[in-house]
Structure formats: structure tokens, C-alpha cells
Amino acid sequence: MIYKQRSFPAIDVAKVVMAVAVVIIHKPLFLQDYPNYLLSNVLCDVAVPFFFAAASFLFFRKLGRETERPVTVWLRYEKRLLVLYLLYTIIYLPCIFVKNHTGYYSEITIGSIFGESLLLIKKFFWTASFAHLWYMNTLILSIAILFGLSRIVKNKWVILGIGTAAFAAITLLWFFMYGQVAPKGIMPIVYSVMKRGLLCCCLGYFAAQTDDTVPKWEKALCPVLWIAILICGIMSYGRESLFWENARLLLTFLCAYGTLRVCIGSNLQPRPVYGILRRYSTLVYFLHLLLMSEGWAFLCRHVGIQDPGAHPFLYFCVTLFLAVAEATIILRLQKKERFDFLKYLY
């Protein structure tokens, strides 16, 4: 295939929007469950599948342009992801000790730090080192599996079928074994790869092997998919079943793919600002959980807010503001020679 485009500015714009959506998932805007469910659990749930699909698309497009051996390009990409995962694990160490081992800053001791460090080694690939960082180890393994498949199978439809089969297998297996949708007794990383990462990355691979010219009907289909997932969320609210859970999840994947295709077919011209947006999206995604509930409660006590839980929108605004502020500081410091290492954070 002849690749016409080398950059996709609209993907950088979409990533910023999706990064804010991830913040909304973790810091809901409303006190009421229903609007939070529709916004955070339904519409914003497209964000992470989009990141998976976009990462896969950009990797395989780069793979198709490089003159180096594909294995060399893949290993360099995986190394970059691993370094990113390791660096953010280190940044989140204080949060890990509080959230996973003690729950309170005052209970952190030398013994608890040692115990949590040993547990962290096990969790690094077993689950995730911290909350949202599951995206990183899932992406590392999903890209590795997909890269291996792409060396054997060249047909994009077959690749997509394998990803779909993995999704169906893990869903049906655990439903028949336990009668439930949620995983039980399985390595969380295996579930994450088979249930989300691999299929989303397959969609990104599929997009990478498809012509960049996106027809009008495909662009028109994207908002229809977003409306469909909203309707699905309305109909499935309060219902826990295999059908509704997976119908909504598959729609999020289709929305992510449809949005990616619209971005690919956009007419935005490359400009320096899009590179800056790309860096902000990465930094906001990874940094926004540094303000945990303990930190929020501490902040509220010192500004006179008696009931922190009654102000979810304020919590979201403070979280997003701090993430953007931290990202800005990192980007400014990185320009100085002695802080050049900060570039590895994005």
C-alpha cells in the first residue's frame, strides 16, 4: 500500500479531547448517578479504546514507512512504552503506597514501603502498577501480539477476526464458568488484553491498512455510532447482563474506530501547535490522578470546604487544572538542557 500521509493533526486534537474524557471518567462531574453513568461510563468510555486504536494505527503506519527491519522498529517502540510505564510507576510510588497498602499517609512506614515494593514487582505486569497505568502494559502486550500476527497473516480482515475471536472467547468463557460478565480467577492483564487491548489495536491495524481517503458515508456514520452508544447506555442503565455489557463495549470500539477514521480523513494541515497538543494529551492522561481523594480532602480542609464529596465538579476542575499546570511545567523545563530527560514523560 502507498501511504499518502505522514502526519495526522486531527488525531492530536482528538487525543486532547479523549484525555479530558479520561479525567471525567475518574472524576465524575455530577452528584447524580444517572448523568454520571451516561457521561463517564458510556460516552467517555470511548476514550481509552481510541487511544489503543490510534497508537496501533500510528505504529503500523510508521512500520510501513521505515526502511529498517520491522523487528528493530517494533523493539524500539516497545522499549519506549516500557520506559514510559516505568517512569510513571516511579512518579506514582507515593500514591501507590497510600492507595494500595495503607490508605492513609500517616500509616506509611519503612516496613509498609518494603512490602508494597515487593507487591509492586508482581503487579507490574500481573495487573498494573497503578490504576490507569493498566493501559500501558496492555498496550505493550497487545502490540507485541499484533506485530507477531501481522508477520504471519497479511489480510487485515483475518487480523480483525482474530481480535474479535479473542474478545468473544474471553467473554463466553467467563460467562459459562462463572455466570457473570466480570472476570474472576484470571490474570487481569490477560483479561485486559483479550477484552479491550487486542481488538482495539486490531481496529487500529485495520485502519492503517485502509486507504486514507475516507468517503462521506463513513464520516456521516461516525455521529450515528455516537448516538447509538448513547441510546444503548440509556437502555442498559441499571441492567447487568452479558448482552448489554458487551453491546455497549463493542459500540465504544466502533465509535473509537469511526472517530479515528474521521481524524484520518480530515483536512487539517500540519502545524507546530498539534505537536504541542499531542504532548499535553499524554501528560494530562498520565498525570491527572496524582491528586487522589486523600489529597483532595486535605486541600478542602485548608480552604474551608466541609463536605468534599458534595463538590464533584470542583474536584474535576482542580484535577484538570493541576494536570495541565504540571504538563506545562514539564514542557517548559524540558527545553532546558539539564531537564532534557523530561521528554521521556511524553
Give the DSSP per-residue string, 42-78.
Answer: IIGGGHHHHHHHHHHHHHHHHHHH--S-HHHHHHHHH
Domain count, the chain: 1
From CA 26, how far away is CA 293, in angstroms rounded?
Answer: 11
Whether the CB-CB separation of 18 and 12 falls below 8 Å is answered with: no
For residue 136, which amino acid is it? M
Q: Report d(CA 133, CA 264) in Å as an integer.
A: 27
Asked whether residue 124 is domain-assigned, the answer is no
The per-residue pLDDT for 171 is 85
Task: Tell me the whole-structure pTM to 2 decimals.
Answer: 0.91
CA angle 94-98-100, nearest 5°? 110
CB proximity list for 137: less than 8 A, separation 6 or greater: 85, 124, 125, 128, 189, 192
Q: Residue 205 falls within a domain, yes or no?
A: yes
316 in any annotated domain? yes
Per-residue pLDDT of the chain (346 residues; tens, 9 = 90+): 545 567 899 999 999 999 999 999 999 999 889 999 999 999 999 999 999 999 999 999 988 777 789 999 999 999 999 999 999 999 998 887 776 555 444 455 655 666 667 777 778 888 888 889 999 999 999 999 999 999 999 899 999 999 999 999 888 877 766 555 555 567 788 889 999 999 999 999 999 999 988 999 999 999 999 999 999 999 988 887 778 888 999 999 999 999 999 999 998 888 999 999 999 999 999 999 998 887 888 888 888 888 888 899 999 999 999 999 999 999 999 999 889 999 999 9
Tell me the residue range of the domain where 82 lies.
Answer: 9-92+129-345
Our CA dihedral for 19, 126, 344, 209, rounded to 10 degrees, sits at -60
pLDDT of residue 204: 97
| Residues, the chain | 346
Residue 2 located in a structural domain: no
What pLDDT is recorded for position 22?
Answer: 97
Is residue 72 situated within a structural domain? yes
Per-residue pLDDT at 239:
80
DSSP-assigned letter for residue 212: S
Q: Are 134 and 188 in contact (CB under 8 A)?
A: yes
pLDDT value of position 105: 46
Instruction: Report the pLDDT value the prediction gives residue 47, as an integer from 0 to 100.
Output: 97
Secondary structure (DSSP) of 149-181? HHHH---HHHHHHHHHHHHHHHHHHHHHHHSSS
